[in-house]
Amino acid sequence: MLPEVLLVSAPGKVILHGEHAVVHGKVALAVALNLRTFLRLQPHSNGKVDLNLPNIGIQRAWDVAKLQMLDTSFLKQGDVTALTPEQMEKLKEVAGFPEDCADHEHLAVLSFLYLYLSICQSQRALPSLDVAVWSELPTGAGLGSSAAYSVCLAAALLTACKEIPNPLKDGEAANRWTEESLELINKWAFQGERVIHGNPSGVDNAVSTWGGALRYQQGKISSLKRPPALKILLTNTKVPRSTKALVAGVRSRLLKFPEIMAPLLTSIDAISLECERLLGEMTAAPAPEHYLVLEELIDMNQHHLNALGVGHASLDRLCQVTMAHGLHSKLTGAGGGGCGITLLRPDLERPEVEAMKQALTSCGFDCWETSIGAPGVSVHTAASLDAPVRQALDGL
């Protein structure tokens, strides 16, 4: 077991282009969002495993000796298949939950226990640990917060149990794991996501592990070579929506108007491919005209998404407000409310951005100035973390 404290972070994600079309076999581009989840793992000797999740108000502790005595043979070591309903029930027993609890917050605890028991089985004895996780990401907004959580847990537990080496060398502020270690982190993070979501696509955990930008099509995930980091404004309209209902709505419109809808989906696919090509060009030398094309693609995709029927008055408002400041926005994810992204060109003046943020806040929206194409899961020294992050973790 590692003697020292581990500090790990992983990014969230947004869909840049291809939401909804991806369900029908088209390309989607998912990018790492530089709003991050931070995890602190501290080995200790009090014979307990503590989990602290302040964002959702959860604090749990288990007796290591009691966990050690439980029959956890139902979690095969190194077994990376989906959990059966029976295994999920057993996990709930271990966690001490009533059988009928399924709310999201309990699932975060189950995911932790599953990863802790599975990964730490290789140790002579289960380790006594204190794990605290704090996030800049809002939960339930389609920004990959649960995947960032699972990725942080997998990376920290694998490193603490010496299944993968700690890449942080003396004198370094932060570092990333090797490709081989990232593969293992991603594999276990996907398992954590399965506990939370049942049948996830694997995109969110892959983006959070590798960072940058990924292309996803019919189950195949590939990384884009060194995409540029683009500044964006992320806006949460805070309008709740059901992803399931929105996906079903697109499907029924496609059945009702196949000749109209199929070309729209093909067109969205072409937007994703053009954006992928453009990001490739921008790797070498981003030019002002690249940003103008990115803005055109954003506008076209937003109109297409409205035609698919997944727009919302709150998203129209977002587009109007940003357009009044000469900027371009689209929904990201399921639509019907939720979040939108606005591209911030490098030539923007500070007062312009502030005025726009103020206008959006007065609509009742939440805004974050951040970037996409962020680095994936990383390990940090305490000194290298921003003061608010340090304060949040120190307060736990």
Count CB neighbours of 162 within 10 A.
Answer: 12
Percentage of the chain beyond pLDDT 90 is 77
> Which tens digit of pLDDT belongs to each residue from 214-236?
999 998 999 998 889 999 999 99
How does strand 28-43 pair with strand 48-53? unpaired
- With tokens 């996990």, the residue in question is 91
pLDDT value for 124:
82
Query: Which CATH number fits the domain 6-225+377-394, given the four candidates 3.90.650.10, 3.30.230.10, 3.90.1150.10, 3.40.50.300?
Result: 3.30.230.10
- 71 has a pLDDT exceeding 70: yes
Segment 281-297 mean pLDDT: 95
Q: How far apart are the first and last CA of the chain?
A: 22
pLDDT digits (tens, 9 = 90+) for 353-378: 999 999 999 999 999 999 999 999 99
Query: CB-based contacts of 221: which residues, under 8 Å, 6+ apart?
Result: 202, 203, 206, 214, 215
Catalytic residues: 146, 204
Task: Specify the pLDDT at position 98.
Answer: 67
What average pLDDT score do residues 225-249 get?
Answer: 93
Query: Domain residues of the chain, as ranges?
Result: 6-225+377-394, 230-372
Cα gap 347→6, rounded to integer Å: 38
Q: What is the pLDDT of residue 60?
A: 92
Indicate whether 75 pLDDT > 80: no
77 pLDDT above the threshold of 60: no
pLDDT, tens digit, 9 for 90 and up, residues 12-46: 999 999 999 999 999 999 999 999 999 999 999 89
pLDDT band at 2 (very low <50, low <70, confident <90, very high): low
Percent of all residues in the chain with a pLDDT value above 70, rounded to a whole number: 96
- CA–centroid distance for 7 within its chain: 18
Sign of the Cα pseudo-torsion (44, 152, 234, 227, in order): positive
Residues 251 and 6: their CA atoms lie apart, in Å, by 45
Q: For domain 230-372, say whether CATH 3.30.70.890 is its number.
A: yes
Closest CA to 211 of 28, 45, 375: 375
Q: Which has the higher per-residue pLDDT, 185 or 123?
A: 185
Q: Identical fold at 6-225+377-394 and 230-372?
A: no
